[in-house]
């Protein structure tokens, strides 16, 4: 068997197919090792900052790791292209027509570059971070990851919402965790017009104070009359809760227990009534009597 194609001269000559493949494999291995080592250094720096009791933002760490991996891969690709004669000539041609090349690449990678720049903006300005509770695209969930191209949000239904970074720049995001996770829960309950408002307010306040999900040490709950609707008086109870998750639990608890308490105390939560009249039951139209001139 002829093993001449695997000679040392061809193996280390990037102008040959074997040499180009061997060089590509070598560059990939070196780039991978560089990514692993630099990632460990970043993680080590994160650990050191944590030991020094300094706040470490996981969003920044994650973005730095991905961005430096991208730079290492691009650097390896450029080095490989400069060592292979065929690719070196192609690079020279591309550099000679750099304006046209940049225009073509810009159009082809417009979305990718926009997402990359928007991802950098998210990492710097941090409207939300990994682990934050947010409402985005009408969905409530937890930010799982922020990549160079998109953000991943796990919704309360355990669905993965993947949103391009460029789109997030033009969206309004409700962040429940960025400053203070506690929120003011508002819950409206309608009572009938013949209800004693003071009684209904007292019952709602007692149930709100007994709620196991409210924030201890916060301002006491309060109730206000907020509207006179068509068939109800709207009462709104305000309760401070520790975070948005406890807010949902408190809402469900209050809805159930206020209804049970109203039933025991005889407070009515009304619903609309409709009266149906069939056409056949309507009285016949009244006939006008003829005037004297018409009868004559």
Sign of CA dihedral 184, 190, 191, 192: positive
- What's the whole-model pTM score? 0.59
What is the predicted pLDDT for the residue at 5?
47
Three-state DSSP class for 85?
helix
263-282: average pLDDT: 79
pLDDT at 36 over 70: yes
Q: What's the rounded Cα separation, in Å, for the pair 49 and 65?
A: 16
What is the predicted pLDDT for the residue at 35?
83
Q: What's the rounded Cα separation, in Å, for the pair 166 and 164?
A: 5
Instruction: Identify the structural domains of the chain with CATH numbers, from first to last.
Output: 9-108 (no CATH), 125-175 (2.30.30.60), 183-265 (3.30.70.100)
Highest average pLDDT, of 115-119, 161-165, 168-172, 222-226, comes from 222-226
Could you tell me the end-to-end alpha-carbon distance of the chain, in angstroms, rounded to an integer? 133
Contact 168, 118 (CB under 8 A): yes
Give 156-213 pLDDT, tens digit per residue. Answer: 888 898 888 888 878 888 888 888 889 999 999 999 988 899 999 999 999 999 999 9
Q: What's the rounded Cα separation, in Å, for the pair 16 and 19?
A: 5
pLDDT at 3 over 50: no
pLDDT at 225 over 80: yes
Q: What's the rounded Cα separation, in Å, for the pair 248 and 176?
A: 13
pLDDT at 21 over 50: yes
CB neighbours (10 Å) of residue 148? 19
pLDDT at 254 over 80: yes
Contact 104, 118 (CB under 8 A): no
Give 58-106 pLDDT, tens digit per residue. Answer: 667 777 777 788 888 888 888 777 777 766 666 666 555 555 555 555 5
- Average predicted confidence (pLDDT) for the chain: 79
21/6: higher pLDDT: 21
Two tokens at 37? Answer: 């080592």
Question: Quick one: which of 185, 194, 198, 293 has its CA closest to 241?
Answer: 185
Contact 181, 133 (CB under 8 A): yes
From the number of C-beta atoms within 10 Å of its C-beta (0-12, 13-18, 19+), residue 26 rates as middle
Q: What's the rounded Cα separation, in Å, for the pair 27 and 165?
A: 31
What is the predicted pLDDT for the residue at 109?
55
Residue 193 gets which letter from DSSP? T
Question: Any alpha helices (H) in 138-243, and if so which ranges?
Answer: 165-168, 197-210
Instruction: Determine what percent of the chain is predicted with pLDDT higher than 70.
Output: 74
Which segment of 40-44, 131-135, 183-187, 223-227 scores lowest on mean pLDDT? 40-44
């Amino acid at each position: 068997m002829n093993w001449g194609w695997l000679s040392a001269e061809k193996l280390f000559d990037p102008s040959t197919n074997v040499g180009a493949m061997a060089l590509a494999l070598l560059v990939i291995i070196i780039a991978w090792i560089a990514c692993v080592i630099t990632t460990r250094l970043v993680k080590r720096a994160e650990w050191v900052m944590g030991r020094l009791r300094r706040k470490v933002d996981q969003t920044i760490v994650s973005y730095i790791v991905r961005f430096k991996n991208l730079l290492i891969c691009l650097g390896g690709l450029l080095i490989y292209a400069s060592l292979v004669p065929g690719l070196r000539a192609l690079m020279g041609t591309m550099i000679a027509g750099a304006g046209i090349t940049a225009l073509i690449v810009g159009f082809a990678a417009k979305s990718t570059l926009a997402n990359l720049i928007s991802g950098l903006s998210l990492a710097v300005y941090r409207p939300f971070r990994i682990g934050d509770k947010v409402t985005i695209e009408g969905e409530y969930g937890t930010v799982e990851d922020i990549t160079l191209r998109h953000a991943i949000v796990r919704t309360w239904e355990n669905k993965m919402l993947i949103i391009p970074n460029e789109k997030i720049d033009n969206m309004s995001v409700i962040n429940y965790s960025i400053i203070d996770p506690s929120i003011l829960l508002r819950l409206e309950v309608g009572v009938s017009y013949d209800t004693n408002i003071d009684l209904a307010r007292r019952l709602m306040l007692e149930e709100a104070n007994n709620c196991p999900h409210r924030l201890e040490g916060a301002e006491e709950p309060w109730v206000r009359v907020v509207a006179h609707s068509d068939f109800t008086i709207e009462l709104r109870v305000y309760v401070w809760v520790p975070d948005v998750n406890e807010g949902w639990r408190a809402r469900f608890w209050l809805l159930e227990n206020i209804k049970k308490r109203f039933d025991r105390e005889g407070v009515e939560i009304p619903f609309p009534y409709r009266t149906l009249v069939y056409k056949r039951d309507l009285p016949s139209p009244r006939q006008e009597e003829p005037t004297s001139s018409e009868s004559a």
